[in-house]
Amino acid sequence: MKITNKYAIEKIANDIRIGIIEEVYYGQSGHPGGSLSCADIMAVLYFNQMNIDPKRPSAPERDRFVLSKGHCSPALYSTLACKGYFDKKELQTFRKLGSRLQGHPDKNKLPGVDMTSGSLGQGLSVANGMALSSKLNHDGYRVYCLLGDGELEEGQVWEAAMSSNKYKLDNLCVIVDYNGLQIDGNIEEVKSLKHIYDKFKSFGFNVISIDGNNVEELIASFDLAKQIKQRPTVVIAKTTKGKGVSFMEGKAQWHGKSPNDEEYNIAMNELREKEHSILEMQKKDSEGGI
């Protein structure tokens, strides 16, 4: 069922964030920063855009999603749990021995994961293979691929970008989670991307730059991508790393660190307050108040 209400999607994004914090807290391991930054992207894709059914996770005609930045598995798992692929309680098994929720996504362990990932730079090539397969069979499904911005330092991404262009993959939509930080610090200092928009433009992409933490802008850009023919689309989604948890926002050290008890409680309180305010706004909106 497609959810269109802005506040309803914001509420889901917030639920995804709550799940992310649970995972990295109970696992005492994992990557909260880049997972939180892409929660809005995930909410829009899985609840507003993609043709998927949690009851039929292997349906041949479903849209595909490749999490190329595989270390942000907490975002994917939390999204799948929110969508009903499995019980949210299982999020607490993240990264534990025997869990289906591996440190990086394993397609053979968890239904709903379309591709195993973890080694950066490979997802766009995989997504191209899926998109080519869709075209070959005239299946019509779309393929979404989420890349990290630091991941763009991997050369294979640009090999793959040439392939997306060569095969005119208009059924492919790439999203760059442009949060500006990587493990060793600011992307501009580690290895500057310089003109990310122009880079993709010159590789033949339809490029859309948006605020990647704004659900309305995300919906509009994915809707627009569907109208573009003969070219792949990339959505450059400017986001805040650690979005939604005040002490994690914009801090590279929260790339791959788990919260302690105190930090967990602060984070959960903030997210519950946020949930409350979203519900308030939604209520006012439905009453015509804003």
Partner 1 sequence: MQDIKKATRESYGEALAKLGEENKNIVVLDADLSSATKTCEFAKKFPDRFFNMGIAEQDMMATAAGFATCDKIPYASTFAVFAMGRAYDQIRNSICYPNLNVKICATHAGLTVGEDGATHQMLEDIALARVLPNMKVICASDDIECKWAVQEISKIPGPVYLRLARAKTNIIYEEGQRFEIGKGIQIGEGKDATIIATGICVAEAIKAKEILENKGISIRVIDMHTIKPIDKNLIIKCAKETKNLFTVEDHSIIGGLGSAVCEVLADEYPIKVTRIGVKDTFGQSGTAEELLDYYKISAKYIVQEIENGKM
Residues engaged in binding partner 1 (CB under 8 A)? 60, 64, 66, 106-108, 114-119, 121-123, 125-134, 136-137, 155-156, 159-160, 162-163, 166-167
**Cβ count within 10 A of residue 197:** 15
State the nearest-atom distance from the C-beta of 149 to partner 1, in Å: 20
- Whichever of 117 and 214 has its CB closer to partner 1, that residue is 117
State the nearest-atom distance from the C-beta of 140 to partner 1, in Å: 13
State the nearest-atom distance from the C-beta of 101 to partner 1, in Å: 16
State the nearest-atom distance from the C-beta of 27 to partner 1, in Å: 20
- Whichever of 104 and 257 has its CB closer to partner 1, that residue is 104
Tell me the CA end-to-end span of the chain in Å, nearest whole number.
26
Say which residue the tokens 């692929």 belong to. 85
- Whichever of 108 and 230 has its CB closer to partner 1, that residue is 108
State the nearest-atom distance from the C-beta of 122 to partner 1, in Å: 4
**Cβ count within 10 A of residue 283:** 11
Q: Which two tokens stand for residue 81?
A: 């749990």
The answer to whether 123 and 164 are in contact (CB under 8 A) is no
- Whichever of 103 and 250 has its CB closer to partner 1, that residue is 103
**Cβ count within 10 A of residue 2:** 8
Number of residues that make up the chain? 290
- Whichever of 36 and 172 has its CB closer to partner 1, that residue is 172
